Structure formats: C-alpha cells, structure tokens
Copies of this chain bind each other. A is one copy, B any other.
Amino acid sequence: MASPPNAHHIDSAGLNERAQALLKTLIERYIRDGQPVGSRTLSRDSSLELSPASIRNVMADLEEMGLVISPHTSAGRVPTVKGYRMFVDSLLTIKPLGEQEVRSMEVQLRPSDEPQRILRAASSLLSEITSMAGVVLIPRREHESLRQVEFLPLSHNRVLAILVVNEREVQNKIIHTTRDYSSSELQQAANYLNQQFAGRALHQVRETLLQEMGEARTKMNELMLTTIEVASQTFAEEEAGSDYLLEGQTNLMGYQEMADIDRLRGLFDAFNRKRDILHLLDQSLGAQGLQIFIGEESGYQVLDACSVVTSPYKQGDQVVGVLGVIGPTRMAYDRVIPIVDVTARLLSAALNQAH
C-alpha cells in the first residue's frame, strides 16, 4: 500500500506474532480513546485468549524494546514514536475509502480555470474530512512553462509584464525601466519573446536570457536591447520561492494533546513563520509516494506532538507539489492515509484537466 520503505522504517523482526498482535490492538485502542491501555483491557480486546498476567509479560518486553511506555507506574501503556512507526509500517490495516466518499471528494475538486482555487479546495477538503489541519504546497514557478508574455506601458518608466503560464495561470509583475517605452516597442519585444520561448520552462527562459545578455551588447540593435531589459526583469528569479495553503488550523485546538497553550502557540507560530513546515514539505516533494512523519521524526520541536502525512501530486507526469494533513500523533492513520492518498490523486487529475 501507499507506505513506501521509509527512512525511519523499523523491522518487525525480533517480535513474535503475539507481541505484534498485542501492539496492534494496544495502539488501535489508544488511538480510539486516548487513555493508557492496561493489561486487563487488552486481554478483553484482543482476540488472543490470554490472561492479563501473560499480557503483562509481553508488555514488559515491548517496553524494553521502546515500543510502548507507561506514563507512571500504575497507568496502562501508551505507544512511543517507535511503536507508532512499527504500527504504521507493518501492522496497520488500511480501510479503503467508500466509493460514495470518493465521489463526494471528487465533487469538491472539480477542475477550474484558477489552479489556486483547486489547491485551496484540496486543503479545505483535507481539513474537513479529517478534522485536522490540511496543507497544500503551492507549485513553484520552476515547474511552469511559458505560454505567452505581454507588456503594457504604465506611466513613469514602469511597465506591466503579464505572463501566461501552464495554459491558464496568469502572473503580473510591474517592472521599472531606464526609460519610457512605447506600446509598439513593447509589442515587438513581446512578439520576439513569444516566438522564441513559448512552451519552454521558465527556468530555461531565464538561463537562455542570461546567456544572451552575456554576449557583447554592442552587436545588438535597439529592439534587442529593449527586449533584454524588460525580459531580464520579467523573468528574474523570485526571491519568495515556495508557499503553502493551510486550512483548519483551529481543528487542532480540539485535541487534548494540544491543550497546552504554549505548545499550541509554538505550533501556530511555526505555521505563520512557514519556514519549518515548508522545509518538511519540500522533503516530501523529493521522496516519491506517501510519507509519514511521526512526532519527533519530523525533526522540528514544534511538531513533537504531531504527525504529518503527506503525498505528492502531479501536473502532467511531473511532481509539482505536496499535500497533507497535520494532526496529533494519536490520529486514525488507517483513515488518514487513504484520504491523503486519494486527495493527491484527485488533485492531480483536476489540475491536468482544463475546465
């Protein structure tokens, strides 16, 4: 299933079948009601016919291996990150989504002229059906191919550059020039650029431009100088880079494990700061397939009490972004995993299909 070999993968070897089964029921139970699970409960819950005493022996082993821990002497056991990891990697049984459910998701992700709208819809969708926070990384300009460029003269040495990319997305930029250009000068420059570069990736355009600029300028005619001036600014590297859409943050306030207001504030600050979350999502962009970060695995302290489930989505056959869900470590992985997986597929489909 969607869970590929993961950097954090823990082998289930060294754990007999019974221990695995018990770990599984323990975690399922803990996910269900958030209380430490004791041996008596476990004995009733598991299909194994074992007395609490026997189960205690197994628990002692699991604790020694660092898969579970008891918050204090007389409480039941709670899974550790390592425990969750093993659960997710080798014990989990995924419930595939119902057809009905998939269809209703599909409705919310209909194709549109504005990709931004679909991305936001995906983020909302994720947050709504999981009751956690949904996140969608916005495709970077790098992946975009130029369809058309136009220039409009504004007053005071300013020119409005309009880029149409990917057939239906539009970007504007106001650039400042050394002198006022006439409408027709700009028209000519645009024609030249469209002829030369339509269909190419933006970063290719940028590189080629840089190269041409390097060549002796004296050789160039007036038109080329104009073109070079406006184009170099138009296609200049954006410093901003990547960004994401986050929805349903407030859902996270509903969970007890987030009840600590300082921890919560740290998390929300991280959402606003964006850097850490972006970095995490970028990582998932590289890996192929669904990714799960459990608790401290993410490497960011603010996410210590959270798990993040991500999946990349595509435009054409190229991965352009990642989407996912952020919630408490104690989340229903068996539901969240297929939800993230399906949403990624549906989003890809919607993006590839013009309105």
For the complex, give the distance between the alpha carbons of A272 and B248 in Å: 9
Asked if residues B172 and A172 are in contact (CB atoms below 8 Å), the reply is yes
Any chain B CB within 8 A of the CB of A233? Answer: no
Q: Which of B114, B147, B150, B272 contacts A250 (CB 8 A)?
A: B272
Asked if residues A174 and B268 are in contact (CB atoms below 8 Å), the reply is no
Asked if residues B152 and A150 are in contact (CB atoms below 8 Å), the reply is yes
| Whole-angstrom distance between the Cβ of A249 and the nearest chain B Cβ | 7
Interface extent on A, as a size class? 20 to 34
Any chain B CB within 8 A of the CB of A5? Answer: no
Chain A positions within 8 Å of B, measured between CB atoms, are 113-114, 147-148, 150, 152, 154-156, 158, 160, 162, 164, 167-168, 170, 172, 174, 249-250, 253-254, 259, 261, 264-265, 268-269, 272, 354
| Whole-angstrom distance between the Cβ of A234 and the nearest chain B Cβ | 14
Closest residue of chain B to A150, judged by CB? Answer: B152
Instruction: Quickly give the copy total for this chain.
Output: 2
For the complex, give the distance between the alpha carbons of A89 and B328 in Å: 46
| Whole-angstrom distance between the Cβ of A351 and the nearest chain B Cβ | 15
Most buried by B among A167, A249, A250, A265: A250
Most buried by B among A113, A114, A147, A254: A113
Closest residue of chain B to A148, judged by CB? Answer: B152
Chain B residues with CB below 8 A from A148, complex form: 152
| Whole-angstrom distance between the Cβ of A165 and the nearest chain B Cβ | 12
Asked if residues A170 and B174 are in contact (CB atoms below 8 Å), the reply is yes
Chain B residues with CB below 8 A from A113, complex form: 158, 174
Asked if residues B167 and A155 are in contact (CB atoms below 8 Å), the reply is yes
Closest residue of chain B to A259, judged by CB? Answer: B261
Known: A114-B174, A162-B170. 15 other contacts (CB 8 A): A147-B154, A148-B152, A150-B150, A150-B162, A152-B164, A154-B164, A155-B167, A249-B268, A249-B272, A250-B265, A250-B269, A253-B261, A253-B264, A253-B265, A261-B261
Asked if residues A160 and B170 are in contact (CB atoms below 8 Å), the reply is yes
Given A162-B162, A174-B168, A156:B268 Cβ within 8 A: no
| Whole-angstrom distance between the Cβ of A127 and the nearest chain B Cβ | 10
Closest residue of chain B to A147, judged by CB? Answer: B154
Asked if residues A168 and B158 are in contact (CB atoms below 8 Å), the reply is yes
| Whole-angstrom distance between the Cβ of A268 and the nearest chain B Cβ | 5
Chain B residues with CB below 8 A from A150, complex form: 150, 152, 162
For the complex, give the distance between the alpha carbons of A114 and B268 in Å: 27
Asked if residues A164 and B168 are in contact (CB atoms below 8 Å), the reply is no
Chain B residues with CB below 8 A from A164, complex form: 152, 154, 160
For the complex, give the distance between the alpha carbons of A168 and B159 in Å: 10
